[in-house]
Chain A
Amino acid sequence: MRRTLFDSLANPILTEPLAKEQTDEIAALAGKLDAAARARLGRSLSIRQVDAGSCNGCELEINALANAFYDLERFGLRFVASPRHADVLLVTGPVTKNMREALLRAYEATPSPKWVVAAGGCACDGGYFAASYACIGGVEKAIPVDLRIPGCPPTPTALLNGLVALLTARPAAQSKQQSARDDRKIKSIT
């Protein structure tokens, strides 16, 4: 064990800077972001992943986000076990009818403000399973979706870009004054 640990210290760091991929969806996200919610979420996000009937391909790549190359925690992102602790629901799969109720319950259990990210082709629009008797055909048909990350499955880089966009995207046409006013509003609420 000692040798493995020493090697980890001696070897170069594997973690890579994030290769920026700006999709139209991510660009559009900035316009939709609610400054009030952003201010409350701050610079870190707790993510609850929900598999709503995926083939497990998306889960493999979501799990890969935790490996040394992608290391999602450096961005302030972390996966949590309960929707009660979550800011973001990261949903995969075409939403099977057998999973719809569980997804709705997870959504209800997530405190506001909350974001829903649909990850993978199936979650975006049902993908190859859109026409099935057993699927409702995408996350949006069950709960409101804030961000779609396409791909079958999306690469870890695509997933990371989408999640980081939630942290960094700024309301586009918003003046500094406006956001200061919003911040005061938040303070008065909280």
Chain B
Amino acid sequence: MPSLEKATAQGRRIEAHRPWPRVMVDDALWQALASRLSDGRSSLLGLWGEASAVHMALYDDRNKSVVVATRDCPSGRYPSVARFHPPALRLERALRDLCGLTPVGLPDARGWLDHGRWGVTAPLGAAPAQSEQATATYSFLPAEGDGLHQIAVGPIHAGIIEPGHFRFTANGETIVRLEERLGYAHKGTEALMTGRTLAEAARLAGRVSGDSTVAYAYAFSRAVEAATGIAPPARAVWLRGLMAELERLANHLGDIGAICNDASFALMQANCAILRERVLRAASRCFGHRLMMDRIVPGGVTADLAPSGAEALRELIGAVEKAFPRLVDLYDNTASLQDRTVGAGRVGAALARQYAAGGYVGRASGRDFDARRDLAYPPYDALTFETPTLEDGDVDARVWIRIREVEQSLSLLVAILDQLPPGAVATPVPSEAGEGMALVEGFRGDVLVWLRLDGSGRIARCHLRDPSWMQWPLLEAAIEGNIVADFPLCNKSFNCAYSGCDL
């Protein structure tokens, strides 16, 4: 079985692309790669388009290699990947909406991000066309049978969460099909980034998904640095790690509480929310912003650790280490809570592998991938940590992965504080043309950023792929056979990004 690199060796390699190879492929090789995905030899990292080209990023688990394959589409058509590999389906629908390229053989003709309201079609395509403002009808997949009824939820939900539509088909209380419809938060981020300076684009990258603002800014900055061939100063590298772990900690603590709250166990929520608030306050004291927005930029970071920052962090770590184990016991020993979480919303290992689901969704179903370890980037290549995995794939397993990751993040924070080197925190970025790609492990999973710089310090094209692209479809599978009342619980245990995927 040839490795991914050997399989793509016949394609013309694009020298400007770093750090992983990008090769131009023909139809035969494109299809061969699609079948590599469908028979599980490689995983799909991303699939995105330009005005007349389509790119596909693949990952080989065995030798941990990444390759980007590009197929030119002068005719505006390319062979669909989703036809052979279903995880590519929504990516191809989005690509068609944004770039106007037709995936030939795509088994779904419906739009994904384009709801027929933009007044323009294919905004990233070769020839964006004005379109009538019309409310396009959307036909949900049929589910037929005696006693089935539909429940439509959203885009505005009962709680304070992002917008999206869920169409349930249920038999009594039991869900037989869930279909998601997203795209409500589509802001045209990728089109806005085109032609912008690096500083402006970095701000947009940090607003793709607010809860992962550090991870996005981190991935964007690393992609720019790969494209221009620069390395940020050592202190900036370690400060980035510090921010990334603080973000992971805050989100996991919030999630653990919120999942329990959706099982009506408010005590956990109240206590976890206190810990989360303490993390955000420490972040604000260290870097001047509670979510640490706009702190990571190409070339380094904009804010050095405040003089009282290290002390604030050690205080925080002490407080969490004191309070958290008792909350874990509380979760573990409350039978009524376990009754809701154990066995609910199960995702099988085969599906998690097929969809290359990252983060706690993949890890709770046995997919052992962590960009910090498998595609190691500094400072993580110099740090020791564990990536927890479980096999059960239920809500409970997703909670436990988060619990273990909270513990890992705490020890990483200590290690980073101990080793934090002195020195400058930023280096200038040259205005060079080039292409760069980066994967950064956010709290949900791996965030992918791919970009091309035009040589005048501006973005020619930037694509940002949220980890939830590979997780949302699994929620549809996980909920099947569960009761409607367990949906909020299952949904929160996934905590997929809406804005992150809607772009």
Contacts and interface: CB of A to CB of B under 8 A. Distances in A.
Most buried by B among A49, A51, A68, A101: A51
Interface residues of A, number: 48
A59 B117 contact: no
Contacts of A4: 267, 271, 326-327, 330
* Residue of B118, B183, B210 ringed by the most chain A CB atoms within 10 A: B210
Interface stretch (A38-46, A90-98, A167-175): A90-98
B120 A3 contact: no
Name the residue in A3, A57, A128, A131 with the highest tally of chain B Cβ atoms < 10 Å from its Cβ: A57
B64 interface: no
Given A96-B185, A132-B191, A133-B120, A102 B163 contact: yes
Given A57-B293, A99-B163, A106-B156, A64 B210 contact: no
A153 B291 contact: yes
Interface stretch (B72-80, B233-241, B273-281, B406-414): B273-281
Contacts of B274: 14, 67-69
A129 interface: yes
Nearest to A100: B117
Contacts of B204: 128
A142 interface: no
B48 interface: no
B118 A56 contact: no
Interface of B: 115, 117-120, 123, 135, 155-156, 158-163, 183-189, 191-192, 203-204, 207-211, 213, 254, 267, 270-271, 273-274, 276-277, 280, 290-291, 293, 326-327, 330, 333-334, 497-500, 502
28 contacts: A1-B267, A51-B156, A51-B163, A52-B163, A53-B187, A54-B185, A57-B210, A57-B291, A58-B210, A59-B162, A59-B210, A60-B254, A64-B280, A66-B273, A81-B158, A93-B185, A98-B185, A99-B185, A100-B117, A101-B135, A102-B155, A102-B156, A128-B203, A132-B188, A133-B119, A134-B118, A134-B186, A134-B191
10 nearest interchain CB pairs?
A: A57-B210, A134-B188, A132-B188, A81-B158, A67-B273, A55-B210, A97-B117, A56-B210, A53-B185, A55-B207
